[in-house]
Structure 1
Amino acid sequence: MSLPPSNREVVVHPDEDATATDAGERLITALAAAQAARGTASVVLTGGGIGIAMLRAVAASGRRDSVDWGAVEVFWGDERFVPAGDAERNDAQAREALLDALPLDAGRVHPMPAADAPEEAGGGDPDVAADVYAKTLSAAASRLVGDEGVPAFDVLLAGCGPEGHVLSVFPDSPAVHAGSAGVVAVRDCPKPPPTRVSLTLPAARHAREVWLVAAGAGKAEAIARAGHGASEVDVPIAGLRGTERTLWLLDAEAAAQL
């Protein structure tokens, strides 16, 4: 199912740096507003070049301290199933770019299980890791006003691949056909590393706001296909939407074919 283009906000910036900087400033504003409304805030982080550049922009912002970081819950939309601390892990990159510099409550930071975690914590088997993270989400849902075992995240951040994958949900893959809100193991991923853990698209759609942050000419065709009504099975970013807002923050090259 695709989202009508009229229901998306699209903001185009001149280049990748401007896109990352604006996304970082918007994230600070959104988290502060969520805390003003509900006392806490929650965010689902993404990886990728521009996703991490956005976190560096938050770290460098003079407005960073307008957020009470100790009252922010941090989740990830997907993760590479590699050992803890591996440079390929989204959580390792996020910690280096931003999280290690913030006064976060460690109990509110929820990385996905690493491949070398204890067996009962999801190590060694991505299906078990997915089940463990699903339980993490279910426990958080009671605090963050969720249903179907998934919190109503305030902001879910996502990038995309040149073929239109989002999170680790690839075109016409088992994950894109998952019909329920949850967490799935992804094997034989066409982009290395091949084994990952990911939220499903229905889980991502529990977020109040979903932001696609993308840059580069390599993303333009997939973004245009999604914007012009492609199926989420063919172009998974077409199925990305929030309950209150869907925002695409793009650079000029990524938006060139819209």
Structure 2
Amino acid sequence: MSSYCPVVISKPTIQQVSLELRDLLAKLSKEAIAQRGKFTVAFSGGSLPTTVAAELTKATDVDFSAWYVYFADERCCPHDHPDSNYLLVKDEFLSKVDVPASQVFAINPELVGDPERAAADYAAKVKETVPVDNQGMPLFDCLLLGIGPDGHTCSLFPDRPQVKVSDKIVTHILDSPKPPPPRITLTLPVLNHARHVAFVVTGAGKAEMLESILVKRDQSRPSALVSPEHGMLFWILDDAAAQRLPADLLAKSSAVSHL
């Protein structure tokens, strides 16, 4: 694992967080498309899709037709279910931009009753469509992640065996402590092979956990274990979430300036 050197950026409002994400994703996607002909990005759920999409969907300088969209984790439920991360990303983002439907990779709805098979099926989709290294590890251009109140990210929860899975790129969980229980998730080695990772965290309710992750480096929190080997790790926060972080930890310039 690379040395842990995140770029931590705090903005006064959620709208300014959204603007920062728009600029970052516009540059990352432009570079990826120029170099590899496509931009592979994975979304997690929660409030993240809304925050990411708010300004990004207004961008006029992004070639969304070359985006390939994935899900960092997913609940094992139909695509039209209120718990579906796919449905959230579709409503907030995909319905407003021109990403071709053939370039959106969601959980197979026919396998949601069998999380282990659903995870294997999703892993196959990823391997077929995301560039891989010589060990078969996918190299996503960007992963968009959030954190839970316990420090989990994706569906990698503290003290659960999924955090230690190293022989799969997608694994399943039957007893998530946060409902619904059955899920699939990218594994930690995949997160750490991404070209870039951007955590998006807002709200005062996350301030104490961010201090634990970014200042105390509490290794019992799965989010603290994310450190991409090939690129940059960004934490893009609002001031409410960043209120317990020391000033010298916060970057003085935009995320784009660090690329």
Q: Secondary structure at the match of 1:17?
A: helix
CA 1:50–1:73: 2 relative to 1, 3 Å: closer
Say whether residues 1:130 and 2:112 are aligned partners: no
**Alignment partner of 1:67 out of 44, 62, 69:** 62
Q: Which amino acid aligns with 1:219?
A: K
Q: Distance in 1 between matches of 2:27 and 2:2?
A: 28
CA 1:83–1:223: 2 relative to 1, 3 Å: same
CA-to-aligned-CA distance 1:137-184 (integer Å, 9 cap, x gap): 11124xx24454342111110000111000011111111121235111
Q: Secondary structure at the match of 1:163?
A: coil
Match of 1:178 in 2: 165
CA-to-aligned-CA distance 1:38-63 (integer Å, 9 cap, x gap): 2221111121113322113211x2xx
Say whether residues 1:188 and 2:185 are aligned partners: no
Q: Distance in 2 between matches of 1:102 and 1:147?
A: 33
**How far apart are 1:17 and its partner, in Å?**
2.7
Q: Which amino acid aligns with 1:81?
A: C
Residue ranges of structure 2 left out of the alignment (5+ in a row): 246-259
**How far apart are 1:218 and its partner, in Å?**
1.7
Question: Equivalences for 1:176-255 in 2 at 5 Å?
Answer: 176-232=163-219, 234-242=220-228, 243-255=230-242
Match of 2:257 in 1: none
Q: Distance in 2 between matches of 1:65 and 1:207?
A: 26
Q: Secondary structure at the match of 1:198?
A: strand
**Alignment partner of 1:109 out of 101, 104, 113:** 104
Q: Distance in 2 between matches of 1:181 and 1:246?
A: 22
Q: Distance in 2 between matches of 1:229 and 1:200?
A: 23
Q: Distance in 2 between matches of 1:51 and 1:102?
A: 13
Q: Distance in 2 between matches of 1:26 and 1:110?
A: 22
Match of 1:30 in 2: 28
Q: Is 73-82 or 222-231 further displaced after alignment?
A: 222-231
Q: Which amino acid aligns with 1:126?
A: P
**How far apart are 1:35 and its partner, in Å?**
1.3
Q: Distance in 1 between matches of 2:60 and 2:144?
A: 20
CA 1:147–1:195: 2 relative to 1, 3 Å: farther
RMSD value, Cα? 1.9
Maintained 8 Å contact 1:25/1:57: no
Q: Secondary structure at the match of 2:184?
A: strand
Q: Distance in 2 between matches of 1:14 and 1:228?
A: 20
Residue ranges of structure 1 left out of the alignment (5+ in a row): none
Q: Distance in 2 between matches of 1:176 and 1:194?
A: 16
Match of 2:7 in 1: 9
Q: Secondary structure at the match of 2:147?
A: coil
Maintained 8 Å contact 1:168/1:196: yes
**How far apart are 1:16 and its partner, in Å?**
2.4
Maintained 8 Å contact 2:44/2:146: yes
Q: Is 160-169 or 25-34 further displaced after alignment?
A: 25-34
Q: Secondary structure at the match of 2:224?
A: helix
Match of 2:249 in 1: none
Maintained 8 Å contact 1:3/1:239: no
Q: Which amino acid aligns with 1:200?
A: T
Q: Distance in 1 between matches of 2:190 and 2:167?
A: 7
Q: Distance in 1 between matches of 2:31 and 2:217?
A: 33
Maintained 8 Å contact 2:127/2:138: yes
Q: Distance in 2 between matches of 1:227 and 1:123?
A: 35
Structure 1 vs Structure 2: percent identity of aligned residues? 33
CA 1:237–1:3: 2 relative to 1, 3 Å: farther
Count of residue pairs the alignment pairs up: 244
Say whether residues 1:153 and 2:140 are aligned partners: yes
What's the TM-score once normalised by structure 1's chain length?
A: 0.87
